[in-house]
Amino acid sequence: MVEGSIVTIGVVFGAMFLGLILGVPIAIGQVYGKPFLRKIIAVYVWFFRGIPLLVLLFLFYFGFLPLLGLNLPAFTVASIVLGLISSAYQSQIFRGAILSLPEGQLKAARALGMSDFSAICNIILPQALRLSIPGWSNEYSIILKDSAVTYALGVPEIMARTHFVATRTYEHLILYATAGLLYLILTFAGTKALRILEEKVRIPGYATR
């Protein structure tokens, strides 16, 4: 089950990371992009937020990927699918953070002669990402729990290992209680780490919320 925890952590980190690197540009596109781009993004977000995780996992693992001739391991597919879903949610966290910044920040950057790209990289993102950490913490705990569903693909994560042992030993109560406890510990560790990060990058002069 400890090995299962490592797999779970791997899936969750992979998903969070993919969600981050896709979510940031998606959010920027949605806030600053042309109407056409915004429409495409809206459809993307709708798609990944609207379909249940289990359906998406099967759709990708047994549907899309084999159709494309790709035969990826369950672990990878689980990380990618969770990551794509997370990118939809994370993009909305970042979008909210960007929109919460005063309009004057971008204006002041432009007034200095900065290009929009430079203003977004140097002025908007550093502030928006800081504001996103609490939302990110929330997203982490959701993905962590969602990762249990990837058991259905046979990813050897906490849930799969627990089930495997339980069918042999019949110690259901103790085993599933342990699994629950592992998730609780991982949630605590992750949110705590993000809390520390939040404190570390806090802009002096602002109170912590």
Partner 1 sequence: MTNRDPILKIENISKKYGSKEILRSISLEIKKGETKVLIGPSGAGKSTLLQCINFLVMPDTGKVYLDGRCINSRKKKELYTYRQQVGMIFQDFNLFDHLTALENVSIGLIRVKKIKRSEANERAMQELKRVGLEEHANKYPAQLSGGQKQRVSIARALAMDPKVMLLDEPTSALDPELVGEVLNVIRNLVESGMTMLMATHQINFAAAVADEIIFMENGTIIEHGPPQEILFKPKNSRTKSFCSKINEIYGDMLT
Judged on CB neighbours under 10 Å (0-12, 13-18, 19+), 71 is exposed
Three-state SS for 199? helix
- Exactly one of 73, 126, 154, 180 binds partner 1 (CB under 8 A); that residue is 126
Q: With binding defined as CB under 8 A, does residue 108 bind partner 1?
A: yes
Q: With binding defined as CB under 8 A, does residue 118 bind partner 1?
A: yes
Of 145, 154, 158, the C-alpha closest to 15 is 145
- Exactly one of 107, 145, 172, 192 binds partner 1 (CB under 8 A); that residue is 107
- Let me know: does 192 contact 141? Beta carbons within 8 Å: no
75-104 binders of partner 1 (CB under 8 A): 102, 104
Stretch that binds partner 1, among 45-53, 68-76, 111-119, 157-165 (CB under 8 A): 111-119
Interface size with partner 1, residues (CB under 8 A): 22
Of 170, 36, 39, 30, the C-alpha closest to 90 is 30
Cα gap 91→139, rounded to integer Å: 11
Report in angstroms how near the CB of residue 31 gets to partner 1 at its nearest.
17
Chain positions contacting partner 1, by CB under 8 A: 102, 104-105, 107-115, 118, 122-123, 126-127, 130, 203-206
